[in-house]
Amino acid sequence: MPVAWPGGSASLQPVTTLLLATRNAHKAGEIRAILGEGFAWLTLNDFPEAPQVIEDAPTFAGNATKKAVALAGWLGAGAPSSKLQAQGSRVFVLADDSGLEVDALAGAPGVHSARFAAMDAGKAGNSPDAENNAKLLRLLQDVPPDKRTGRFRCVLALAEVAPPGRCGPPHLFEGTCEGRIGFTPRGQGGFGYDPLFVPDGYEQTFAELGEAVKNTLSHRARALRQLRADLALEQVEAPENAGSP
The candidate with the shortest Cα–Cα distance to 211, out of 18, 23, 22, 34, is 34
Active site residue 97: yes
b (16+ CB within 10 A) / e for 30-45: bbeebbeeebeebbbe
For residues 132 and 108, the answer to whether their CB atoms sit within 8 Å is no
Backbone angles phi, psi at 242, to 5 degrees: -60, -30
- For residue 26, the surrounding DSSP H or E stretch is helix 25-35
Distance in angstroms (rounded) separating the CA atoms of residues 133 and 28: 22
Query: Which residue of the set 46, 56, 97, 230 is catalytic?
Result: 97
Nearest to 112 by CA among 85, 86, 132: 132
List residues with catalytic annotation.
Answer: 97
